[in-house]
Amino acid sequence: MASTRVRRLDEAGQQRLIGVAIRHFGAQGFERASLNEIIAEAGISKGSYYHLFEDKRALFLAALRSVVLELYREVPPPVAPRSRATFWREMGDHMQAMVAALRHHPEMIAFFGAFQRTQLSDPMFDPARAEGRELYLPFLRAGQKLGCVRDDVALETLASIWEAADAAFDQTLMSRPGRLTTARIAAHAELAFDMFRRIFEVRATRARGAPRRR
């Protein structure tokens, strides 16, 4: 009987559990959200839960992956730009497309807010941060080849700087009072992108043929 219950959870209950978790984490944050309440609302047993997830953090990470996959289903990761003339515009357009998609998913906005408040202090989310860094690399690499992104700094260092700057901007956004709305996110994304471009774009003053520093 126990194994049957677990199979049901694998097929249908797991998605229900994750859906409930996304709402609870988004509304209450990671620390205050009650795992017992999430399990009860999802209508599963604790035995079924612990068959799949070690603890609350594991559920939070699964919910994060679910939210990111859902967002990428609506706005797939862009192909690295191939034109110097359109490189920064294409990257900016993709960022705005992500913001536009979030307008229809307030639960995603709330959940991402909970993630930003949690991830900076919990080493469990190091793999998630590493996955995010891997997303930056193809675009930065393409930008260097096109002459749009500075190449006087190692590629991996640029990706780490992008990640740190992104986290700092998000932390600032989350620390400000008031509800996290799509309008605030859109303004934040525009400011962050402008800052990223100023940091990573090739400087026009660098002399042609100047030696690259590594």
Q: Are 151 and 144 in contact (CB under 8 A)?
A: yes
Give the lowest-confidence range in 71-85, 110-124, 180-194.
110-124
Tell me the pLDDT band of 123, cut-offs 50, 70 and 90. confident
pLDDT of residue 200: 93
Nearest CA to 38 out of 59, 7, 67 is that of: 59
Predicted model pTM: 0.71
Q: What domains sit in the chain, N to C, each tagged with a CATH number?
A: 1-63 (1.10.10.60), 75-214 (1.10.357)
Question: What is the rounded CA–CA span in Å between residue 177 and residue 185?
Answer: 13
Q: Are 196 and 143 in contact (CB under 8 A)?
A: no
Q: Does pLDDT of 144 surpass 90? A: yes
- 40 vs 101, residue with greater confidence: 40
pLDDT of residue 16: 92
170 Cβ contact list (under 8 Å, min separation 6): 116
pLDDT of residue 204: 59
- 147 vs 176, residue with greater confidence: 147
- 183 vs 193, residue with greater confidence: 193
Average pLDDT, the chain: 81
